[in-house]
């Protein structure tokens, strides 16, 4: 008759699917974890049970991943000869351990060990579960005095910009944190257990002043440990700047290139052309550089040669051309942790004779990595897929960059606030300036 009629009513989940049987007699609706059949004549509803669970063979998955990752290295490693390693033999040596492994962490360690046989950089295997229930300790942004005995934790130093660095703070060097939210910090207790899961919320501290006295209270808001690392890095940079300024009498600039990326390029440009725009030279620090892909841009920026400038009628120098490149002397400081493009940069810095290099020997890690997705998404697997090579045919991988002046840092100097590598770099650059 063409007149619509109500057959049945059903709650909707927002992501429902609909289908009608071939004979037009039944409507199927899926959604909300349910599958229901409706008789279009009577409107009667009939749930259709289903089970989507399936057995998960973790050992079988590990066996598959073992072969997959082994083949991935064989087919993608930048050197087709695999550094002369008998890769099929490596498979035989490691596959026999599979029956004895039942945890992903152990599997990742074993695969990393097998990759290590190639003696190459950018080869890694790790497992990142990132469980939400893991400890997440809040940081107060202070250094503790490890020699303190008795109750409480004694403050040895405060990180600028951290939770403790506020006007009128009780957390100063020599002060002792006695309580956290009313709980006494016992002599045998690690304060971290009292600061666990405190990030972003108010924490009440009981603090005694340096030298002793009545305890007072202060509220702080702890930050994540990762934020503490950033604060500590900023402190380290401020200390390096002060060392360079003092040793050079204010004549030299300083910039630390932490990674080889656009943000670090902008920082380097801003520091040298802004903060140190009037400096006679600059120290470029690539220690602990984590890599990336920036060496061409940095080399171009540091490779300027002064050839002209703007002056007033009174002879005041308003700047030199090229205006967008550093056209003054530089010196580089490196260490064994100058990684990936952080080791390629010193190699070409020397090749283009930009200035002296000071510091440790740097193992060349001149490859580019392929991080391939795995069937187990928490597994991370990397393979050195591309290799940097000079036009003469020399690969930078495992090519050691030997500094002009070899200076190793004695850990004892660190506690004294000294940096022998940086001190020597300043000396080398000052000698260059004095010869000009």
pLDDT of residue 436: 66
pLDDT of residue 414: 83
pLDDT of residue 43: 87
**Going along 356-432, which residue ranges are E strands?**
357-359, 367-372, 379-387, 405-406
Contact of 260 with 295, CB cutoff 8 Å: yes
Residue 386 CA to residue 366 CA, distance in Å, equals: 9
Contact of 223 with 138, CB cutoff 8 Å: yes
pLDDT of residue 84: 97
What per-residue string of b and e applies to 338-371 under the rule 16 or more CB within 10 Å gives b?
bbbbbbbbbbbbbeeebbbbbbbebbbbbbebbe
Strand partners, 332: 284, 357
pLDDT of residue 104: 94
pLDDT of residue 2: 62
pTM for the predicted model, two decimal places: 0.84
Return averaged pLDDT per consecutive 10 residues of the chain, 436 residues in all: 70 83 92 89 90 85 96 97 98 96 95 97 93 90 94 96 96 97 94 95 97 95 95 96 97 98 97 94 97 96 90 88 92 97 97 96 95 92 96 94 93 88 97 84
pLDDT of residue 13: 74
Distance from the Cα of residue 40 to its chain's centroid? 60
Question: Token pair of 381, please?
Answer: 């697997």
């Amino acid at each position: 008759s063409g007149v619509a009629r109500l057959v049945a009513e059903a709650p909707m989940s927002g992501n429902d699917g609909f289908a009608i049987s071939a004979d037009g007699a039944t409507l199927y609706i899926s959604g909300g974890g349910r599958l229901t059949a409706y008789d279009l004549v009577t409107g009667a509803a009939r749930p259709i049970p289903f089970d989507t669970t399936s057995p998960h063979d973790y050992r079988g998955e590990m066996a598959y991943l073992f072969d997959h990752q082994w083949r991935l290295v064989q087919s993608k490693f930048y050197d087709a000869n695999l550094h002369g390693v008998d890769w099929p033999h490596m498979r035989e040596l490691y596959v026999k351990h599979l029956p004895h492994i039942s945890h992903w962490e152990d599997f990742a360690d074993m695969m990393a060990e097998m990759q290590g046989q190639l003696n190459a950089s950018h080869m890694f295997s790790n497992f990142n579960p990132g469980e939400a229930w893991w400890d997440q300790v809040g940081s107060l942004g202070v250094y503790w005095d490890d020699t303190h005995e008795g109750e409480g934790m004694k403050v040895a130093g405060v990180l600028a910009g951290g939770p403790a660095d506020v006007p009128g703070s009780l957390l100063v060097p020599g002060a002792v944190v006695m309580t956290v939210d009313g709980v006494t910090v016992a002599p045998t207790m690690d304060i971290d257990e009292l600061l666990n899961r405190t990030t972003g919320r108010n924490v009440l501290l009981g603090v005694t002043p340096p030298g002793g006295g009545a305890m007072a209270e202060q509220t702080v808001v702890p930050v994540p440990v990762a934020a503490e690392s950033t604060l500590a890095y900023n402190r380290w940079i401020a200390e390096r700047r002060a060392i360079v300024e003092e040793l050079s009498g204010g004549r030299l600039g300083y910039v630390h290139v932490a990674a080889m990326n656009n943000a670090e390029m902008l920082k380097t440009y801003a520091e040298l052309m802004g903060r140190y725009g009037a400096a006679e030279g600059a120290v470029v620090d690539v220690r602990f550089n984590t890599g990336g892909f920036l060496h061409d841009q940095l080399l171009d920026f540091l490779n300027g040669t002064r050839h002209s400038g703007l002056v007033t009628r009174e002879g005041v120098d308003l700047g030199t051309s090229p205006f967008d490149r550093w056209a003054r002397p530089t010196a580089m400081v490196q260490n064994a942790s100058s990684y990936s493009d952080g080791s390629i940069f010193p190699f070409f810095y020397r090749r283009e004779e930009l200035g002296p290099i000071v510091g440790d020997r740097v193992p060349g890690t001149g490859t580019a990595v392929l991080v391939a997705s795995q069937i187990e998404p928490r597994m991370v697997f990397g393979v050195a897929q591309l290799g940097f090579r000079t036009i003469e045919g020399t690969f930078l991988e495992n090519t050691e960059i030997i500094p002009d002046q070899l200076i190793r840092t004695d850990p004892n100097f660190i506690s004294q606030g000294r940096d022998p590598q940086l001190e020597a770099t300043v000396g080398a650059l000052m000698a260059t300036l004095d010869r000009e």
